Structure 1
Amino acid sequence: MKKTASLLFILALIISCQQKSTFSEVEKANWFLGRWENKTPEGTFSEKWKIENDSVFFGESHYVVKNDTIFSETVKLIQSKNSLLYIVTTIPPSNGVKPVTFKLTSSTSDYLVFENPVHDFPKKITYKLVNKDSLYAEISGDGKKQGFPFKKAD
């Protein structure tokens, strides 16, 4: 009886350890959630992120100048097996432009790097959590880069 109880305990311990090791890649971006804004004299660039389900975060990006939306896109962070994909779709999709997929290539608890080396621009998208109310996003590639400091808006 003691052997059976010991084996059951060991089996339960192994299963619980395996469950903890199946950490979802999309959870690395929990700090994205909410609304973020970059207000400048020229206009406001905003991103709003929410949980779509346990393996997908949905984001919307807009650049607004004097009540006119100059640029708009949606982004999905999708857990695909052991990878995290950042899939961008412009709104409205123009001239047959298809969504562009970037793959998570590096991460820490406050820094995420997504890359697509065959895309024209950007080839790299990074997000850095500066503090709980501030993050810095950057797009780069082929010697060019553009940064976006965001403040939490909600």
Structure 2
Amino acid sequence: MKKSILIIAIVVFGSCQNKSDKQFEKLEKMNWLIGQWENTTPEGYLTETWTKTNDSTFSGQTYFIINKKDTVHNESIVLTQVNDDLIYRPTVKGQNNDEPVDFKLTSEAENNFTFENPKHDYPQKIVYKKVNEKSLVATISGKQQGKPSTESYPMQKK
């Protein structure tokens, strides 16, 4: 009797363990994002840093700096898995009353993650594409003042 109770306990614990391992599977597919990414252009310096907050959440911080001192764009991002949804939640200073805006993962292909919010003014779509271990391209797109617009930001891992 003791052996059968022990076997049942092991099976139940084992099945729970396997389920929790897969609980944040969508977020885990983006583990490659963790670290510091940057790009220097004639317009300025772009840096995006990602850290793992916990099993369900990554935190990101983006800055665009011109003249080596003036921050013209500052964005805090939360990338979180809630149930089966992966949510990209940026907060941009001076936009949306400094409130976060949710973009939901709408498609994922090999190293290509698309987040969308068709109700947002601009952008409506955010795409992260892993080019290789040291390179990514972040692209924002949608309609801006009634016209289609796309902006891409290639970055290298530091």
Q: CA RMSD in A?
A: 2.4
Matched with 2:50 is 49
Is the aligned partner of 1:137 residue 2:142? no
1:11-36 Cα offsets, whole Å, 9 max, x none, are 56654553444343221211111110
Matched with 1:70 is 72
Report the CA distance between 1:90 and its aligned residue: 1.3
AA aligned to 1:80 is V
1:33-83 Cα offsets, whole Å, 9 max, x none, are 111011101211110000111111100011001121111110000111111
Check the 8 A contact 1:28/1:109 in 2, yes or no.
no
Report the CA distance between 1:100 and its aligned residue: 1.0
Q: Which 4+ runs in 1 deviate beyond 4 A?
A: 9-17
Distance 1:111-1:11 versus aligned 2 partners, 3 A rule = same
- Stretch deviating more after TM superposition (64-73 or 23-32): 23-32
AA aligned to 2:135 is S
TM (norm. structure 1) is 0.85
Bigger RCO (CA 8 Å, 6+ sep): 1
**Correspondent of 2:151 among 141, 146, 149:** 146
Aligned pair count?
A: 152
Matched with 2:40 is 39
Report the CA distance between 1:94 and its aligned residue: 5.3
The secondary structure found in structure 2 opposite 1:96 is: helix
Check the 8 A contact 2:24/2:81 in 1, yes or no.
no
Distance 1:19-1:134 versus aligned 2 partners, 3 A rule = same
Matched with 2:23 is 22
1:86-120 Cα offsets, whole Å, 9 max, x none, are 111113x4572421110011113511110001111
Give the Cα–Cα distance (whole angstroms) in 2 for the partners of residues 16 and 115 of structure 1: 32
Percent of pairs with identical residues = 39
Give the Cα–Cα distance (whole angstroms) in 2 for the partners of residues 20 and 97 of structure 1: 35
